Structures are given as C-alpha cells and as structure tokens.
C-alpha cells in the first residue's frame, strides 16, 4: 500500500514537468513560424487534457487517456468552430500524445533523452526566435531527462526543475544572447551535405528510370498527372553576365499542340529555330513607329550562361525571346549535369503600355529584309545579317498554316459559352487573350488537385473543382483561346523570378499558354493565379515620354496617343479593371450563412475572456513579484545598473533642456557617480542607489506631465 501511495504521489508531482514540456514545445513550434499558436490558449487546453489524465488515473482508466483527450478536442472544436482555437487544441492534444509515448516503460529513459535532444537542436537553430520562458523550460527538462537517464529519484524528479527555476530567476542576463554560431554552421553544413547526397541519389535513380510519383520539376511530358510534390533541388544555373535583367523571364523547354483527355501531347516540331520571333518582333516595332528611345522602354538585350545541374532532358532550355545560342551540342542524346551553353536574348516588358501599342500596331505585309536590317542596326546596334540570312528571314515572315494550333476537340457547349461571354467586348486578339487570362486568375491555386482520369479535365477545372495548378490553368486557356479563334500552344519550362540568384529550382518549373498574335508572333500569358502577371513585373519606364520633334511625330502618326501621360507609377493596361466578373454556369457552391449570436455563445465567450484576463493578471502579478524579489537580492552595483537602464530609457524621449534645475542637477550628479562606479571601479553605496530611484521617479513624473 505504501509503495502504491508513493507511486501515485510521483505520478501527480510529475505533472508540472508536463507543463514545462508543453511550454517548451509551444515556444519551439512558434519560433518555427506557426503563428496560430497562442501560448495562453495552448496552455489552457493542455491543462484541461492533463486534468483528464488525473481523472482517468483516479478512475483507473489510464489506458483511455488518449481517447478522452481526442474526444474533448473534437467536442470543443465543434463548439467553437474557430481555426485559431482548433490549432491550439490540436497542439495540446499532440503534447498529450507525446507525453504518453514518453511514459512507455520500455523506452522511457531513452525516449526522454531523444526528445530533449530534438528540442535542444530546435532551440539552437532558432535561438534568436525562442521565447525566454521556453528556453528556461527546456533547460529544466534537460536536467529532468538526465535524472531519468541515470535512474535517480531527486525529490520525486521535481527538485531539479525547481532549483533550476530559482537559479534562472536570479542569474544575471546578458544583453547579447548566445548565438551558437559555430554549432549553427556545423548543423547547416551537415544539412547541406546530406541534401546534396539525397539529390545525387535521386538524380542517379531517375537516370535508371526508377523514379516515380509526381514531383515539381522540369518535365518533357505534357500528360496530365495527379497532385505535385515539392522539389527544391537545383536544376539549372542561369547567370546573367552583366546583371542587366530587370524582371522575371520564362525559360522554355518545349511546346505541345495536341489536347485530349490525358493532357497535352505532340511536340511542336513546326516551331522554328529561335529566330522567327525576332523577325516578327522587329517588323512589329517598325510598323508601330518605335524609335531607339521608345524601344529601350520596352526591351533590353541580355547575355546569360546556362548550366544543367540536377536535370536530364533532350531539350535545350532557353528564354522565349532568344535570338542566339552558342555552345550547344544537339547530338540526339539526353543532356545531363554539367551541360553548358550561352544565350543572347531580349527581355521584354509585356506589362508596359508600350507593349500594348506594339500589339495593336503589328500588321502585315512585312517589310523587306534590307529595311529591317537597317532598322535593327539603328534601334539596337545589331547586325541582323549576323543572326539570320535573307532566306531565313523570308521563311520566318512567310504565311503559315496555323490549323494545328486551333484544334477545339475538347470544347463543350459550356466552355464555348463561357469563352464567348468573356471576350464579347474585346477589340483585338490581344485583348481577347488578356481577358481570358484575367478571368482564369480568379480560380484558386491548389497543387494537390488530381483531374487525371476525367473525361474532360478542362471542364472539370472550370466548373467543378474551380481550383488546380499551372497545368490546369494553361490547358484551359489554350482551349479557350482556340475557341476564340486565336492559335495557341502549351509550353513547359521554368519561371525564373528571382534575378538576384542564378539558381533555378525544381519548384520554379511551370507550364503556361502562348497565343499567336498576328504580326507579332507568340506571346506568353500567365493565367495561374499563384504567379504574378506581366503588369506586376512592369518596369514602368517612359510613361512620361513625349516626342519632341515633328519628324518623329510624322513617323509614329497617331499611335503615340495610345500612351497616356502619367507620373511613372501608373499601370494603364489593366485587363482586370475592364473585365466584368462573369457568373460561372452550373457551379455548385456552399452558401455562406451568417452566424447567429445566441445567449450560450455570449456566455461561452465571456467565460473564455474572463479566463484569459484572469490568467494574464496572475502572470503579470507573478512577473512583478519575481522582478521585485530579484531586485531585492541584487548588490548595490547591480541595483544601480538596473536603475540607470530605466533612467537612460526615459531620457531618450525627454527634452533635457526643459528639465527643472533641481532635477537637472540631481541627474548630473547621478550620471557622474554612475561613471565612477562603471568605469573607475568605485563601490556603489546605498545613497547613490536611492538617488537613482529618486531621479527615475522624477523623470517619470516629468514625462507624464509632458504627454498630457
């Protein structure tokens, strides 16, 4: 009987340790960036779960601890129906689950040691973000786990945490916390090394054809798949030689033209060398009346070096607007890690009003080779004959059969009706494309959506799930463009968004649609809502530009009027502003019902508020008691230092010239005494300490009067 009584006492006296574990756990996960964790709510629910454990112990139902906690969590979640509260309830339940695992007799000693090791590692890695209360709790728990590891009962395991708590309260705290710099560097280096080993292993197995699943990264296939799994490994190095790129770019591998229920297929083999777009672009500039200055507002030339990292593909990945590639070796084999080449390309500001003018001004017939050679030299100081021959130029501007880009086999009556409604007010193909792009961006981005196996995944995306990822957005826009009579294709590659790094990651892989605008060529669009549009990346150059000569006015004609005068911070071409939201037919949505506030809800809210306010009052009182107790046990020098910190803090926001002569005199005497104690090593007597308290109170009074 005596042994059972001692065992029961130990059981109950261990509960404060569980509270310490909960506090440390909350601090670590909050430092990890989970902002929904609220220490007050979290501890309330943890205490409720611990009380359930006590009740189960009294009723001899210890095995039902987890079931009871899970039931209470579920009931409270249904009662409150609040995300913040639910997250904290779930975190509290997780702590109870961890406690039950740690108390399994066969693994108890080593499980506690392992748990403390993991918590300590988390603390070291996030030492600047861990709250102090969590750090103190963690230190106590480390000592507690040591007592378990060495099989020592020290006042029922609680003496050590209590002693540590007392020492921690009175131990001096340095202004600069320990940064654990070397430990962090070692852990980061080890993690980086381990990551490289994993990447090398995955890359090796991909080469053998053993990799499976759906992961984010470059894919040569346009086939529909399930949800995607994140992959942040480095797949390309794309480095600008002169750091001259102003915005993000699309790095393209290949395009697809055929569409069926399984996705996109049939590589666009008719896509010419990377030169056709340049011939069309220069003609469009010429017909739109761009001079050298205006062209600089719209585009700039960049040279970049490309290197394949953890990538294996037949494709040569280049920017959409590349006009020269050197160093490539198209031998028909897969290009692997270490493959390098250099690209010259234009970066074009697709979000500029100048581009809208370019799209509106593009027309046929095209100019002669000689005319464009001279014009290119004048605008960009480039010799066109070094890029393409006359024969290549004439082949680029020749009329082409675009029927393969207009296949609407997957179109349904609903998709057609929706497309017609969206573009009904458009004046040009470019405006139609922008309106379709803006409409699709209203859909929710969700990379877990799986539409594979559907009879018509585009229709399901538009009218059933209403969410998906880039594959679904791009496919839908390709089909809707074709319904609108605009040739379109589906392209895959990367969006290189961060111009401050040369690394292109697997998570940067992307799919997007391209529309063929007559006289301008292929233009990319971004219907995927999770990505920024061209307007978000616009350089906003030249919005105040005004032509100054009659000659330039005659050359450009009326087209210069398309650009309105502005302050340089305006974005004039916003299809989203012009687009009227169109009701989507046959879309089932749950109606949102207003919550009715009844008496029970008010009572629960009031009780909760009272609980939180009471806890805050208790914590505040405890804080001041601890601080007062700590102050009373300080030496005279420590008291003086503490008081001077408060004095200097008030002085930062005080006009010293307006202080009363008596206060100013006392302040000067106090600072002089403090300097002698701090820098000359004089002893601080009680008179100096009392003077510091007096000056502090007088400064507070001055501050309160001034604020009023």
Residue-range domain boundaries for the chain: 2-179, 222-578, 634-707
Q: Which residue has the tokens 């009003």?
A: 353
Is the model more confident about 552 or about 665? 665
Backbone angles phi, psi at 521, to 5 degrees: 95, -155
Phi first, then psi, for residue 36 (nearest 5°) are -75, -10
Q: Can you tell me the mean pLDDT for 9-24?
A: 71
- Whether the pLDDT of residue 570 is over 50: the answer is no
pLDDT at 483: 95
- Tell me how far apart the alpha carbons of residues 618 and 509 are, in angstroms, rounded to a whole number: 53
For 469-479, the pLDDT digits (tens) are 999 999 999 99
Q: What is the pLDDT of residue 88?
A: 79
Are the C-beta atoms of residues 88 and 37 closer than 8 Å to each other?
A: yes
Query: Of the ranges 48-62, 387-401, 408-422, 526-540, which one carries the lowest mean pLDDT score?
Result: 48-62
Which band of pLDDT confidence, cut at 50, 70 and 90, is reported for residue 484? very high
Tokens of residue 328, six digits: 């490539």
Q: What is the pLDDT of residues 500-558, one digit of tens each?
A: 678 888 888 899 999 998 888 899 999 998 888 888 888 777 665 433 334 444 444 44
d(C-alpha 197, C-alpha 218), whole Å: 20
Residue 619 CB: number of other CB atoms within 10 A?
13
Do the Cβ atoms of 342 and 242 come closer than 8 Å?
A: no
Task: Record the tokens describing residue 305, joined without a space.
Answer: 């070096």
Are 449 and 467 in contact by the 8 Å Cβ rule? The answer is yes
Q: Look at residue 416 in the predicted model and tell me its pLDDT.
A: 95
Mean pLDDT score of the chain, rounded to an integer? 75
Instruction: Tell whether the model's pLDDT for residue 296 goes beyond 80.
Output: yes
Higher pLDDT, 438 or 569: 438
Residue 214, pLDDT > 80, answer: no
Higher-confidence residue: 407 or 6? Answer: 407
Residue 152: pLDDT band (50, 70, 90) is low
Least trusted range by pLDDT, from 141-145, 373-377, 687-691: 141-145
Q: What is the pLDDT of residue 573?
A: 36
Tell me how far apart the alpha carbons of residues 261 and 259 are, in angstroms, rounded to a whole number.
Answer: 7
Give the model's confidence band at 572: pLDDT under 50 very low, under 70 low, under 90 confident, else very high.
Answer: very low
pLDDT for position 591: 38
Q: Are strands 340-348 and 322-326 parallel, antiparallel or unpaired?
A: antiparallel
Per-residue pLDDT, 551: 42
Instruction: Kindly report which listed range (16-25, 403-412, 437-446) carries the lowest average pLDDT score.
Output: 16-25
Secondary structure class of 286 (helix, strand, coil): helix
User: Residue 446: is its pLDDT beyond 60?
Assistant: yes
**Nearest by Cα to 163 from 150, 147, 175:** 147
Question: Interior CA angle at 465 toward 464 and 468, to 5°?
Answer: 140
- How far is residue 541's CA from residue 353's CA, in Å, rounded to a whole number? 10
Tell whether the model's pLDDT for residue 173 goes beyond 60. no
Cβ–Cβ < 8 Å for 48, 72: yes
CB of 89 within 8 A of CB of 45?
Answer: yes
Alpha-carbon distances of 209 from 212, 224, 264, rounded to whole Å: 8, 19, 22
Q: What is the pLDDT of residue 611?
A: 65
Instruction: Find, among 435, 541, 549, 533, the residue nearest to 486 by Cα.
Output: 435
694 CB neighbour count, 10 Å cutoff: 14
Q: Decide which of 359 and 490 is more confident.
A: 490
The whole-angstrom separation of Cα 505 and Cα 525 is 21
Closest CA to 248 of 471, 510, 514: 510
| Residue that wins the pLDDT comparison between 296 and 56 | 296
The 3-state secondary structure of 195-262 reads: HHHHHHHHHHHHHHCCCCCCECCCCCCEECCCCCECCCCEEEEEEECCCCCCCCEEEEEEEEEEEECC
Q: Tell me whether residue 263 is exposed, middle or buried, using C-beta atoms within 10 angstroms of its C-beta: 0 to 12, 13 to 18, 19 or more.
A: buried
Q: Could you tell me which residues are beta bridge partners of residue 299?
A: 348
The most confident of 271-275, 571-575, 626-630, 643-647, by mean pLDDT: 643-647
Q: pLDDT, tens digit, for every residue of 371-393?
A: 999 999 999 988 888 888 898 88
Q: Contact 324/343 with Cβ under 8 angstroms?
A: yes
> Regarding predicted confidence, which is higher, 193 or 683?
683
Average pLDDT estimate for 21-27: 76
Least confident of 87-96, 226-235, 446-455, 624-633: 226-235
């Amino acid at each position: 009987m005596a042994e059972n009584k001692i065992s029961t006492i130990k059981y109950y006296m261990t509960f404060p340790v569980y509270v310490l574990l909960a506090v440390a756990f909350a601090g670590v996960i909050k430092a990890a960036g989970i902002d929904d964790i609220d220490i007050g709510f979290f501890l309330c629910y943890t205490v409720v779960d611990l009380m359930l454990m006590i009740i189960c112990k009294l009723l001899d139902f210890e095995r039902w601890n987890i079931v009871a906690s899970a039931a209470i969590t579920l009931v409270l979640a249904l009662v409150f129906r609040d995300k913040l509260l639910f997250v904290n309830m779930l975190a509290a339940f997780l702590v109870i689950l961890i406690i039950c695992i740690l108390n399994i007799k066969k693994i108890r000693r080593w499980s506690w040691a392992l748990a403390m090791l993991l918590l300590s590692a988390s603390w070291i890695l996030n030492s600047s973000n861990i709250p102090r209360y969590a750090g103190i709790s963690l230190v106590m728990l480390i000592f507690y786990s040591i007592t378990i590891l060495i099989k020592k009962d020290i006042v029922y395991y609680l003496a050590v945490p209590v002693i540590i708590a007392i020492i921690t309260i009175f131990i001096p705290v340095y202004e600069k916390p320990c940064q654990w710099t070397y430990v962090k560097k070692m852990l980061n280096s080890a993690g980086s090394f381990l990551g490289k080993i994993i990447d090398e292993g995955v890359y090796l197995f991909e080469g053998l054809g053993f990799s499976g699943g759906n992961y984010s990264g470059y894919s040569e296939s346009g086939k529909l798949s399930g949800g995607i799994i994140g992959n942040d490994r480095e797949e390309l190095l794309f480095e600008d030689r002169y750091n001259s790129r102003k915005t993000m770019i699309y790095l393209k591998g290949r395009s697809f033209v055929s569409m069926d229920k399984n996705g996109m297929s049939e590589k666009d083999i008719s896509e010419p060398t990377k030169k056709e777009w340049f011939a069309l672009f220069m003609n469009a500039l010429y017909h739109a009346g761009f001079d050298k200055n205006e062209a600089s507002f719209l585009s700039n030339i960049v040279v970049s070096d490309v290197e394949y990292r953890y990538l294996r593909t037949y494709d040569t990945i280049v920017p959409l607007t590349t006009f020269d590639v050197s160093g490539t070796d198209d031998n028909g084999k897969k290009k692997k890690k270490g493959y390098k080449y250099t690209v010259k390309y234009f970066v074009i500001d697709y979000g500029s009003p100048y581009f809208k003018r370019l799209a509106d001004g593009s027309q046929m017939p095209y100019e002669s080779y000689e005319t464009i050679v001279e014009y290119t030299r004048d605008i960009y100081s480039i010799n066109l004959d070094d890029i393409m021959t006359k024969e290549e130029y004439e082949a680029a501007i020749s009329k082409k059969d675009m029927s393969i880009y207009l296949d609407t086999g997957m179109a349904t009556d609903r998709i057609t009706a929706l497309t017609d409604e969206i573009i009904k007010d458009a004046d040009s193909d470019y405006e139609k494309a922008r309106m379709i792009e803006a409409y699709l961006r209203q859909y929710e981005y969700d990379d877990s959506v799986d539409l594979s196996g559907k009879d018509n995944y585009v229709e399901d995306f538009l009218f059933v799930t209403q969410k998906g990822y880039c594959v679904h957005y791009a496919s839908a826009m390709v089909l809707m463009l074709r319904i609108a009579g605009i040739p379109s294709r589906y392209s895959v590659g990367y969006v290189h968004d961060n111009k401050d790094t040369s690394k292109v990651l697997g998570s940067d892989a992307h799919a997007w649609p391209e529309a063929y605008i007559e006289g301008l060529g292929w233009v990319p669009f971004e219907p995927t809502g999770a990505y920024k549009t061209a307007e978000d990346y616009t350089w906003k150059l030249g919005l105040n530009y005004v032509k100054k000569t009659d000659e330039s006015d005659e050359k450009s004609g009326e087209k210069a009027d398309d650009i309105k005068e502005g302050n340089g911070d305006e974005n004039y071409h916003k299809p989203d502003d012009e687009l009227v939201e169109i009701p989507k037919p046959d879309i089932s949505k749950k109606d949102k019902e207003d919550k009715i506030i009844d008496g029970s809800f008010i009572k629960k809210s009031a009780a909760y508020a009272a609980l939180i306010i009471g806890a805050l009052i208790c914590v505040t009182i405890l804080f001041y008691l601890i601080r007062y107790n700590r102050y009373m046990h300080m030496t005279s020098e420590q008291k003086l230092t503490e008081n001077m910190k408060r004095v200097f803090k008030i002085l930062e926001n005080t006009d010293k010239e307006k202080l009363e002569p008596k206060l100013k005199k006392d302040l000067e005497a106090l600072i002089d005494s403090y300097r002698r104690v701090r820098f000359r090593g004089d002893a601080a007597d009680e008179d100096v300490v009392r003077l510091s308290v007096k000056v502090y109170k007088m400064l507070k009074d001055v501050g309160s009067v001034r604020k009023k």
